Structure 1
Amino acid sequence: MSDSYFQRVRWHHDNAEDPVVLWAHVVDGWEVRKVDEFADGRLAWADEEHAMATTALGQVPIPLPDEIAVDPQLSASRRGLRCVTRAARCSSRRLLRPSGGVAALSGADSR
């Protein structure tokens, strides 16, 4: 049986070039899909078939949330990814036809 969970990592920093929330669906220690959320509301996503310029799946196994949280710049938890993945895919399509913004996602759950 595989170990599958959703993870949310909050990265506390001031660099606008880097994401502030990293969402991931982890299966047996490996990211299978992810969304990076930036302070300005931008979203970038990746899965096994898609990557963006700023976001791709990890090349090494991802640590458990407790291991990640040892770093004082990071806070991690197991949280939902489904809503944020849907929003990221929609926002990447909006690059072709600008429209309204995406709601803040740092509180999204798995529904």
Structure 2
Amino acid sequence: MLSYLVVNQVSQPIPAPILGICVWSSLTVFLWSIGLAVRDGVVRLKRLHQVPCSRCCYFTGDYRLKCAVNPCTALTEAAIDCRDFVPSSMSPLPCSKTYSQTCKR
């Protein structure tokens, strides 16, 4: 008789107000976590847009060797404060024509 009462109480449906509260709280937590994920993604994207590699003279654009000076840190967050950064409009001495002509002799 005791086992019948236990099984009967366990198999009872959950009351509607408690079920509604559980569903709405789960939905709220789910939407809150999506909002946090979107916010973190935007922050990371803004940080990655600060990487100057594509505007550097040493950037090759080839996927095998992205940078001639710092190939391991090219196009990563570590390259944001790269001390070897030279804008591609300003060619440094090794990239200039005079240096290339001197080396060919």
Q: Under a length normalisation based on structure 1, what TM-score does the superposition of the two structures give?
A: 0.23
Higher helix share: 2
Q: Under a length normalisation based on structure 2, what TM-score does the superposition of the two structures give?
A: 0.24
The answer to which structure, 1 or 2, has the higher relative contact order (CA under 8 A, 6+ apart) is 1
- Greater C-alpha Rg: 2
